[in-house]
Structure 1
Amino acid sequence: MTKKLLALSISALMTSGAVFAENIVNADTTNKEVYDIHEFFSEQGNRVKLQFPIEQAAFAWQNLSRFYPTAMIERDGEVVSLPYKLNDDIGKVKATVKGETKTLNEHLDSNPVDGFLVIKDGEIVFERYNTMRKTDKHNWFSNSKITAGIELAKLVNSGKVDPDDVVSNYIPELKGSVWDTVKVIEVANQATGLNATEHDEPTADSRTNPDQPFFKWIVSIGVFEGESQKMPLEVLAEMKRRTKGGQTFEYNSINTFILSRIVENVRGLPFNEILSDDIWKHMGANNDAYTVVSPKGGYPLMFFSMNSTLKDMAKFGMLLTPSGAKLGTAHISTDVVKIIQESGDPSAFGGGYVGKMMQNSFYNDKDLKNGYMFDTIFDDGDLFKAGVGGQGIYISPEKDLVVAFFSTGDGCNQEESYAREIARYFK
């Protein structure tokens, strides 16, 4: 497939409004269907389509380990069982999406949401599964990014990383490049001012155009197919400055890749081992998790590839709330949470694609900002992170609330709007 045809075919997928067929889920997928899906993604030019809402990707998003090399994030100790205190009123909470106001139950009836879970004060108050089982491990996509943001905030809190220091002081391979001028906090807050973003290039084709710097980088780590022979850090060393840092929230998975390498270099361990040792082994997780590793270099790819059950993703979010203490010894300190809550700049938030999306989703809020890989930090200290295709985790430290969801759509159905309204329901 030529570069032009590849870009055109992917562009058509992104604008088609396609959603997944309901029968492509673990419980109903036949051996023949699994074989055909593998054959499809093995065809030249099709691997890149795994990120988009096509029928074959529905199975892949709940079985990512069948398509990429992975590294384990291990659990240990007793499983913490969360008590149930179901509240039917939560299903009646309303939000407005694309000009239409519906209850949460109505929204879940008519949109490709795999699972939706609400935990309040350490108790499950709402739980629904549509097209996955409780035990299925779903890809978090960009929800994965907050693992790097939280681990970085812990290092900042302990004094092991200076957020105002430049990136190349922590990643020697980037010395002598533009990264000598980029502060760690600018990376954490997705405001580097560099020239390889996911959505904010002038032609908005960073993830589909093989000539774009972002595309070249994602080929270099082996996630997309392409001709690059360079290692990932070599590609990043070629990036250029476009604007001054700190001015605009420009979403970029490269930033998470950089943060992960900083954390690994400071800690001296691969990121999956850090996450296992610091958190997953100590939070009463139901199951092991896993992450994709790059074929080149074996880097854990935390910008898109954390995979777990929905309940375990929600437990991870609980660690930033008071009820996190009920899960074990992995509770994240209030000092670390405060570092995240106090980061970001509202004046930079709406200048890029993702900030504008969040302003649309959180239509009743002002002074939104982002930081430490969270897409939205609210003025009340609540936090939200979204992922490709409609994944999301909403965390309210003050209200001791977590809303977590997995979806198989185009990411524009605003489940996060319901999460915010659920937080408002708990006055």
Structure 2
Amino acid sequence: MHPSPKRLISRLGLPLLGLGGLAWAATAVLGVPNPVTLAALAVVEPSAAGAWFASRPVAASRTPRILTLAPRPILDRVPWKDTLVPLGAMLAATHTNALLVTQDGVLVHEWYRPGFDAETSFPSWSVAKSVVSLLVGRAIADGRLKETDHVSDLLPDLRTAPVFGRITVGDLLDMTSGLAVPENYDPWHPLVGTAGMYLTRDLRAFVREHAVLSSSPGSTGQYRSIDTQVLGLILAEVHGRPLSDLLSERIWRPMGAQADASWNLDRPGGTEKAFCCLNAVARDFARLGLMVADHGAVGSASVVPRRWIERIETPARREVDGWPYSAQWWHVPEGDEDISAIGVYGQYVYVNRDTGTVIVKLSDHGAEQDEADTLAVMLAISRDLRRR
């Protein structure tokens, strides 16, 4: 949900591109993508960034869940920054590429900006964190994990770092690990913090090299993308399989995804960027939200244990950066009992069971920009649909 590395990449990639052959050697030493990739990442829209990284496929279902399409009017004037504006104006202001609304399991609104459509694969950015949570819930139900497990007991290559003997799976889930990998980037040091984790070609080494605490584990809620990355490493370790394969087998196919997704890696054949970078069509993000809204089920089949959905829907003891939070999902301030997965550039999978509404919004908006205002719009749309 926090600031993006794009502006910082431009500080590194564009100057390096001008150094010719030296640039290629420099990026190899730094362990980051080559100069051409860095330069591209500095200028492309966030929705196009995934194509510049290696990825691993996430196979879809052979029998996709049918999404009934029954268009109906939705709220055409929405609350926006203390006034009412046309919905279209709000979508334009937030650089929206896709907006899907379901009501009681029916797709009642589907809109794409020109250049995007139902076949477009959209990047999740930090919505992927909420997907990782669902995989953790499955692993806990299967007896492979406990929230009280310590990281060092699950990841052998981190046992030499004492801090990982203090951090539990539960700390990672609720963003209370205390790991000192900040989301707020220093413009003059683009290889540190989450920007560095986004660019590294060795995520496992990055985690090992950042075994430093800024607060005692469990004491403070601070949004840290490294927490989700460690969860991703744990899932791959306890299952002995790549995260993409787990997602396909345990969620993507069982929930009835219509299209193969992909998950970006740190390098070809490498490790998934668990904290971001799952690429999927908008309707499959909607199917994900519908499954969560249905208590983790699709029809009569349980995909994610109901108990885990209840865990997600119960705010954790510590807020994260001033917002209620639980197991990698955000709770909407001053809303209904609604929750949302949120990505840095305006990606949302919003679930409001009180109104029977799921909303997917995929954008190229500014980092962390207008999140509370956008969620207020989704709440207004949901309540209006329930009244109609």
Q: Give the TM-score band, short-chain normalised.
A: 0.7 to 0.9
- Alignment partner, residue 228 of structure 1: none
Cα separation, 2, equivalents of 1:334 and 1:245 = 28
1:237 paired with 2:208, answer yes
Rate the CA distance shift 1:139–1:213 in 2: closer, same or farther, 3 A.
closer
For each residue in 1:321-360, what CA deviation from the matched residue of structure 2 results, as whole angstroms up to 9, or x when unmatched? 2297556846333212012122512x533xx3xx4xxxxx
Kindly indicate whether the alpha-carbon contact (under 8 Å) linking 2:171 and 2:177 is maintained by their aligned counterparts in 1: yes
Change (3 A) 1:169 1:122: same
Partner of 2:85: 102
2:95 is aligned with 1:112: yes
Deviation at 1:283, TM superposition (A): 2.4
8 A Cα contact 1:278 1:330, kept in partner? no
Alignment match, 2:56: 71
Distance 2:272 2:68 in 1: 33
Provide the C-alpha distance between the structure 1 equivalents of 2:101 and 2:259, rounded to a whole number of angstroms: 19
Paired residue type of 2:231:
L
Aligned to 2:152: 168
CA 1:84–1:340 in 2, change beyond 3 Å: closer, same or farther? Answer: same
SS in 2 for 1:101: strand
The 1-side partners of 2:269 and 2:9 are apart by 31
Q: CA deviation at 1:258?
A: 0.6
Q: Return the offset for 1:166.
A: 1.4
Take 2:149 and 2:46, find their aligned partners in 1: how far apart are those partners?
42
**1:237: how far off?**
2.7
Tell me how far apart the structure 1 counterparts of residues 55 and 300 of structure 2 sit (CA, whole Å).
Answer: 26
- Paired position in structure 1 for 2:330: 375
5+ residue gaps, structure 1, are 1-5, 12-40, 223-230, 356-367
- 2:183 and 2:193 in contact (8 A); partners too: no
Distance 2:351 2:55 in 1: 27
Residue identity opposite 1:278 in structure 2: R
TM-score (ref. length: structure 2): 0.81
d(CA) in 2 for partners of 1:258, 1:266 = 12
Question: In percent, how many aligned pairs have the same letter?
Answer: 20
1:321–1:375 distance in 2 versus 1, CA, 3 Å: closer
Count of aligned pairs: 353
Shift of 1:107: 1.3
Give 3-state SS (helix, strand or coil) of 2:45's partner. helix
Cα separation, partners in 2 of 1:265 and 1:195, compared to 1, 3 Å: same
Gaps of 5+ in 2: 1-6, 13-33
Residue type of the alignment partner of 1:285:
A
Would the aligned equivalents of 1:85 and 1:123 in 2 still touch at CA under 8 Å?
A: yes
* Equivalent runs, 1:301-340 vs 2, <5 Å: 301-322=273-294, 325-326=297-298, 329=301, 331-340=303-312
C-alpha contact (below 8 Å) 1:119/1:402 kept by paired residues: yes
CA–CA distance in 2 between the matches of 1:244 and 1:323? 33
Displacement of 1:407: 0.7
Residue 209 (str. 1) matches residue 189 (str. 2): yes
Kindly indicate whether residue 45 of structure 2 is the aligned counterpart of residue 57 of structure 1: yes
One-letter amino acid matched to 2:39:
N
